[in-house]
């Protein structure tokens, strides 16, 4: 029997292989942006859910204490023989037991000042010993997943301070960004509640997101455009528009959002003097007339394209465009301005 002759199988040519590889590369190039957009959409939704959790805690706090948590406990001048700014406990710290963070809350002693003198940290300050564990704890709920989600500063005798993206709104930033007696829903040592929000809770911003700081701390000179939104100018005194525009001193002494337990304007408090994701960098100073309390203009900022997430006073969340009219934006910051907002 004669052997059966088989037709030789033809393989891929080099040109065909290159065509297949090129097609696969094109498909990956088309799909990758879609995957990245889907991931960012999920992160943006998680950020908004974080804000809603904070809104629930804010109202549960009000239900217990008959007032919203103040931006910070700090009072003007001195309290119990200690500089008022040392009592800088934030609204996030006060709300923590209402956020399923009871174990964290139990490590803190809010009857003691957050800061103490006689330390090795900036300006000779230190975190009070009984509060160092809490100060060094990162809380995922306080971090927007679109940002770095990591510690941005080590100071006050604590390595790796727990950072935070979310900040309570203290108003329009009037009076050079003073933290006291502002027109916002809360402010330093405030005792406001729903009864005081005559503009309506659904027309008043309570909390928004801000960016964590990056780059160098205590830097003097110019910064690149890419660093501006992550930095703040430091005035070494009261803030002014001219001084902020011509600033050359940055991030003194810590990055923005460096500690969730601190209610200063550079951390977990912000205002609407600048628009969302403003091209103008943030500007922080202090006022000797207010016992050196931190003052300034800290904008709502995010890593989300073209918008920031906010929580309104009624607990609802909104996404606000970077292009919102500035009058409307500032009206949203007041609790009793009597403005007619319309759509936003």
pLDDT in tens, 224-269: 999 999 999 999 899 999 999 999 999 998 999 999 999 999 999 9
Q: Is residue 40 part of a domain?
A: no
Domain for residue 278, yes or no? yes
**Residue 304, pLDDT above cutoff 70:** yes
Mean pLDDT over 177-206 rounds to: 97
Confidence of residue 9 (pLDDT cuts 50, 70, 90): low
CA distance 46 to 32: 21
- The SS3 assignment for 267 reads coil
Q: Residue 70: which residues within 8 A CB-CB, separation 6 or more?
A: 91, 94, 186, 187, 188, 189, 190, 191, 263
> E strands within the chain?
78-79, 82-83, 115-116, 126-127, 166-169, 205-209, 219-220, 232-234, 249-250, 269-270, 282-287, 293-297, 307-312, 317-321
**Residue 30 neighbours by CB distance under 10 Å:** 9
Q: How far apart are CA 339 and CA 344, in angstroms?
A: 13
The answer to whether position 98 is within a domain reads yes
Of residues 21 and 151, which shows the higher confidence score?
151
**Residue 224, burial from CB neighbour count under 10 angstroms (0-12, 13-18, 19+):** exposed
Closest to 271 in 3D by CA, of 187, 212, 211? 187
Is residue 101 one of the residues assigned to a domain? yes
Question: Is residue 31 in a domain?
Answer: no
The answer to whether residue 29 is domain-embedded is no
* Domain extent for 282: 50-331
Residue 24 contacts by C-beta under 8 Å, 6 or more apart in sequence? none
Q: CB neighbours of 231 closer than 8 A, spacing ≥ 6? A: 213, 214, 215, 223, 250, 251, 256, 281, 282
Is 1's pLDDT higher than 60?
no
Amino acid 116: pLDDT: 95
In a domain, 4, yes or no: no
Q: What is the pLDDT of residues 82-118, one digit of tens each?
A: 888 899 999 999 999 999 898 999 999 999 999 999 9
Q: SS3 of 233, please?
A: strand
315 near 59, Cβ under 8 Å? yes
Asked if pLDDT for residue 177 goes beyond 90, the answer is: yes
Q: Rounded to two decimals, what is the model's pTM?
A: 0.91
- Average pLDDT of the chain, as a whole number: 93
Mean pLDDT of 153-179: 97
DSSP state of 286: E
User: Can you give the pLDDT at residue 19?
Assistant: 83
The number of domains in the chain is 1
Give the model confidence (pLDDT) of 307-343 as tens digits.
Answer: 999 999 999 999 999 999 999 999 999 999 998 887 7
Task: Determine, yes or no, domain membership for 154.
Answer: yes
């Amino acid at each position: 029997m004669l052997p059966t002759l088989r037709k030789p199988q033809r393989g891929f040519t080099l040109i065909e292989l290159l065509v297949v590889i090129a097609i696969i590369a094109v498909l990956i190039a088309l799909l990758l942006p879609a995957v990245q957009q889907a991931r960012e959409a999920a992160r943006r939704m998680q950020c908004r859910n974080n804000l809603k959790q904070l809104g629930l805690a804010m109202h549960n706090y009000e239900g217990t204490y008959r007032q919203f948590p103040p931006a910070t406990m700090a009072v003007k001048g001195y309290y119990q023989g200690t500089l008022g700014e040392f009592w800088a406990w934030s609204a996030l710290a006060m709300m923590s037991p209402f956020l399923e963070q009871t174990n964290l809350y139990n490590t803190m002693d809010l009857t003691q000042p957050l800061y103490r003198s006689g330390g090795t940290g900036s300006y000779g300050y230190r975190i009070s010993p009984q509060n160092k564990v809490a100060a060094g704890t990162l809380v995922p709920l306080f971090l927007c997943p679109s940002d770095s989600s990591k510690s941005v500063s080590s100071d006050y005798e604590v390595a790796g301070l727990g950072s935070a993206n979310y900040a309570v709104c203290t108003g329009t930033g009037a009076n050079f960004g003073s933290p006291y007696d502002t027109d916002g829903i809360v402010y330093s040592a405030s005792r406001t509640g729903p009864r005081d929000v005559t503009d309506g809770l659904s027309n008043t911003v309570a909390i928004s997101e801000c960016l964590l700081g990056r780059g160098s701390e205590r830097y003097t000179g110019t910064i690149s455009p890419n660093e501006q939104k992550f930095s703040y100018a430091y005035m070494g005194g009261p803030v002014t528009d001219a001084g902020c525009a011509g600033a050359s001193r940055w991030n003194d002494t810590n990055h923005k959002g460096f500690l969730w337990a601190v209610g200063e304007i550079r951390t977990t408090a912000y205002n609407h003097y600048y628009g969302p994701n403003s091209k103008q960098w943030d500007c922080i100073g202090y006022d000797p007339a207010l016992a050196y309390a931190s003052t300034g203009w800290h904008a709502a900022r995010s890593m989300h394209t073209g918008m920031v997430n906010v929580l309104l006073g009624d607990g609802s969340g909104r996404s606000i465009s970077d292009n919102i009219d500035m009058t409307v934006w500032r009206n949203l910051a007041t609790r009793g301005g009597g403005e007619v907002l319309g759509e936003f």
